[in-house]
């Protein structure tokens, strides 16, 4: 199918074009700019006069017929209304494939409002004085920006992380398995909001490490093997630069290899994210790396050694459609450490556990 995209340099237009190309369509792009860098993204490029110019309608319709266009995508709200009318009048068989951009923006925001409105109630855990819950707009902002980042944490888990963050002691936030940075963004944003500490992300971002997860189903292993980890790493860096510069850094190694680095260094310096200081005590540990039982077990055991009293351990995919490694590892740890924990629940498939703040008379038991 031949699809015409106009104005083809807008981010929404380019998003549409990459998806349409994946579906095998021929994409003709057009805009009124003399030089539009987006032209290289299209199979053919057509310059049209400005929308208000007397020649616009004629040249637009000429392009539709010459290029045998059967669908049009229009990402600019004013151009959308005008082109809809033009096509209805002259070529009713050619459809505009996207809804009105203004209506879509309103509908998406309405959806985000309704979705976040359904979140948040139900976790009744006392918070220290002064650590108020996120406002409705803060939660909406956190959830909508998180969901723009490629990743696996759902809205329920994000809301639970927000509840837990208001109750954290001061210390490091450590995440094992960050991928493109969705949960890292949430943790880092909350760490700033509640002044908890800095975020350390540990992930090898490598196919070799991903291929060591062998207990999950074949389809999961296939996906892990197909990923381009350098590209995912670049997405992660770009997301951290956009939102969290100065309060986040990473170790691009497996969690086993990162243990000795975290033990030895209070400061991590990288080319992309600069220098970030850590305390060596963990307020929140998010385990979401290799999901095989042995790896999850080691991650929980090795890293929870640094967990502060009042700190939270979060094991992602405790309920998981593709395996039970995280659950077996977490249950085993919980049964051994039951007396040191005072709160546990599962939300969004993740297990949340709080390490008890020891009372003075319990310390020497
Ligand atoms: C499920 S994804 C993480 C999703 C992420 N937390 C999010 O919110 O989107 C798992 C990540 O663990 C990483 N990983 C695999 N083996 C690892 C290991 N041994 N140590 C640390 N990370 C590992 C993978 O590279 C992958 O990025």
Exposure b/e, 276-285, CB count within 10 A at least 16 = b: bebeeebbbb
* Coil, strand or helix at 177: coil
- Contacts by residues 59-68 (CB-CB < 8 Å, ≥ 24 positions apart): 60/6, 60/86, 61/86, 61/90, 61/91, 63/4, 63/28, 63/30, 64/4, 64/91, 64/94, 65/91, 67/2, 67/4, 67/28, 68/2
Give the mutation target among 224, 289, 326 for probing the ligand 1 site: most ligand atoms within 8 A of CB: 289
Report which of residues 221 and 356 the model is more confident about: 356
pLDDT digits (tens, 9 = 90+) for 165-218: 999 999 999 999 999 999 999 999 999 999 999 999 999 999 988 888 888 778
Cis peptide before 7 (omega within 30 of 0): yes
- Report the alpha-carbon angle 11-30-44, nearest 5: 105
Kindly tell me if the per-residue pLDDT of 82 is higher than 70: yes
Q: CA 235 to CA 126: how far, in whole Å?
A: 36
- Cα 126 to ligand 1 centre (Å): 31
Which residue, judged by its Cα, is nearest atom 1 of ligand 1?
Answer: 288
Residues with CB under 6 A from ligand 1: 151-153, 176-179, 182-183, 202-205, 209-210, 254-255, 288-290, 295
Kindly tell me if the per-residue pLDDT of 361 is higher than 70: no
pLDDT attached to residue 224? 75
- Cα 212 to ligand 1 centre (Å): 12
Q: What is the mean pLDDT of residues 106-130?
A: 82
Q: Which residues contact 268 (CB under 8 A, 6 or more apart)?
A: 200, 249, 250, 251, 261, 275, 276, 278
Q: Fold match between 2-98 and 133-362? A: yes
- Cα 290 to ligand 1 centre (Å): 6
Q: What is the mean pLDDT of residues 340-362?
A: 87
- Cα 117 to ligand 1 centre (Å): 30
pLDDT digits (tens, 9 = 90+) for 304-332: 999 999 999 999 999 998 899 999 999 99
pLDDT attached to residue 124? 77
Q: CA 294 to CA 50: how far, in whole Å?
A: 62
- Cα 98 to ligand 1 centre (Å): 35
Kindly tell me if the per-residue pLDDT of 365 is higher than 50: no
Kindly tell me if the per-residue pLDDT of 129 is higher than 80: no
Q: CA 206 to CA 179: how far, in whole Å?
A: 10
Q: Which residues contact 289 (CB under 8 A, 6 or more apart)?
A: 176, 177, 202, 203, 254, 255, 295, 296, 299
285 and 307 in contact (C-beta within 8 Å)? yes
- Cα 141 to ligand 1 centre (Å): 25
Give the mutation target among 149, 179, 299 for probing the ligand 1 site: most ligand atoms within 8 A of CB: 179
Kindly tell me if the per-residue pLDDT of 158 is higher than 80: yes
Kindly tell me if the per-residue pLDDT of 79 is higher than 80: yes
Quickly name the fold that domain 133-362 has.
Rossmann fold (3.40.50)
Nearest ligand 1 atom, CA 182: 8
Report which of residues 361 and 110 the model is more confident about: 110
Q: What is the mean pLDDT of residues 242-253?
A: 98
pLDDT attached to residue 359? 62
Q: What is the mean pLDDT of residues 227-236?
A: 96
- Two tokens, residue 183: 């949960």
Give the mutation target among 145, 148, 151, 178 for probing the ligand 1 site: most ligand atoms within 8 A of CB: 178
Q: What is the mean pLDDT of residues 243-263?
A: 98
DSSP letter at 270?
E
- Cα 296 to ligand 1 centre (Å): 11
Q: Nearest CA to 178 among 153, 207, 213, 212?
A: 153
Q: What is the mean pLDDT of residues 333-340?
A: 96
pLDDT attached to residue 226? 79
Nearest ligand 1 atom, CA 299: 20
Q: CA 30 to CA 285: how far, in whole Å?
A: 49
294 and 315 in contact (C-beta within 8 Å)? no
Boundaries of every domain in the chain: 2-98, 133-362
* Coil, strand or helix at 282: strand
pLDDT attached to residue 216? 77
- Two tokens, residue 357: 């703040």
Kindly tell me if the per-residue pLDDT of 16 is higher than 50: yes
Kindly tell me if the per-residue pLDDT of 362 is higher than 70: no
Nearest ligand 1 atom, CA 255: 20
Per-residue confidence band for 243, with pLDDT thresholds at 50, 70 and 90: very high
Give alpha helix (H) positions in the chain: 11-22, 56-66, 77-90, 101-117, 136-147, 155-165, 182-193, 207-210, 218-226, 229-243, 255-264, 293-304, 325-337
Q: What is the mean pLDDT of residues 97-118?
A: 94
DSSP letter at 277?
E
CATH class held by domain 2-98: alpha beta
- Cα 259 to ligand 1 centre (Å): 16
Q: What is the mean pLDDT of residues 71-87?
A: 96
Q: CA 311 to CA 306: how far, in whole Å?
A: 10
Which residue, judged by its Cα, is nearest atom 23 of ligand 1?
Answer: 289
Percent of the chain residues past pLDDT 70, beyond the cut: 96
Element (H, E) at 27: strand 26-31
pLDDT attached to residue 152? 86
- Cα 283 to ligand 1 centre (Å): 20
Nearest ligand 1 atom, CA 209: 16
In the chain, count H helices and then E strands. 13, 14
- Cα 37 to ligand 1 centre (Å): 35
pLDDT attached to residue 56? 96
Give the mutation target among 184, 203, 349, 350 for probing the ligand 1 site: most ligand atoms within 8 A of CB: 203
Nearest ligand 1 atom, CA 232: 27
Strand order through the sheet with 341-347: 248-251, 199-202, 172-176, 282-287, 307-315, 350-355, 341-347
Per-residue confidence band for 225, with pLDDT thresholds at 50, 70 and 90: confident
- Two tokens, residue 307: 């967990």
Exposure b/e, 209-243, CB count within 10 A at least 16 = b: bbeebebbeeebbeebeeeebeebbebbbebbeeb
Kindly tell me if the per-residue pLDDT of 287 is higher than 80: yes
User: For the whole prediction, is pTM greater than 0.85?
Assistant: yes
């Amino acid at each position: 199918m031949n699809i015409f995209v106009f104005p083809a340099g807008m981010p929404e237009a380019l998003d549409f074009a990459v998806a349409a190309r994946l579906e095998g369509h021929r994409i003709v792009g057009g805009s009124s700019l003399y030089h539009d860098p987006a032209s290289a993204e299209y199979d053919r490029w057509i310059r049209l006069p400005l929308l208000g110019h007397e020649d616009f309608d004629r040249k637009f319709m000429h392009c539709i017929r010459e290029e045998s266009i059967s669908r049009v995508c229009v990402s600019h709200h004013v151009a959308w209304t005008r082109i809809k009318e033009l096509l209805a009048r002259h070529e009713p068989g050619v459809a505009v494939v996207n809804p009105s951009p203004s209506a879509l923006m309103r509908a998406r925001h309405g959806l985000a409002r309704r979705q976040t409105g359904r979140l948040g109630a139900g976790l009744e855990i006392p918070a220290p004085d002064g650590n108020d819950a996120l406002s409705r707009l803060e939660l909406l902002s956190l959830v909508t920006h998180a969901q723009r980042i490629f990743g696996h944490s759902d809205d329920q888990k994000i809301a639970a992380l927000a509840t837990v963050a208001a109750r954290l002691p001061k210390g490091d936030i450590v995440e094992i398995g960050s991928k493109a940075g969705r949960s890292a963004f949430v943790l880092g944003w909350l760490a700033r909001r509640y002044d908890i500490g800095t975020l350390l992300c540990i992930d090898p971002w490598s196919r070799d490490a991903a291929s060591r997860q062998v207990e999950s189903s074949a389809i999961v292993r296939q996906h892990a093997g197909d990923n381009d980890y350098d590209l995912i790493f670049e997405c992660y860096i770009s997301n951290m630069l956009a939102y969290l510069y100065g309060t986040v850094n990473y170790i691009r190694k497996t969690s086993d290899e990162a243990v000795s680095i975290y033990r030895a260094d209070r400061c991590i310096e990288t080319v992309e994210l600069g220098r970030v200081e850590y305390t060596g005590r963990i307020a929140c540990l998010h385990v979401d790396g290799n999901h095989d039982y042995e790896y999850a077990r080691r991650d929980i055991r090795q890293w929870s050694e640094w967990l502060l009293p009042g700190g939270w351990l979060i094991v992602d995919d405790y309920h998981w459609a593709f395996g039970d490694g995280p659950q077996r590892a977490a249950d085993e740890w919980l049964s051994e450490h039951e007396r040191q924990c005072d709160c546990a629940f599962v939300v969004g498939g993740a297990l949340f556990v709080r390490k008890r703040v020891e009372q003075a008379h319990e310390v020497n038991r």
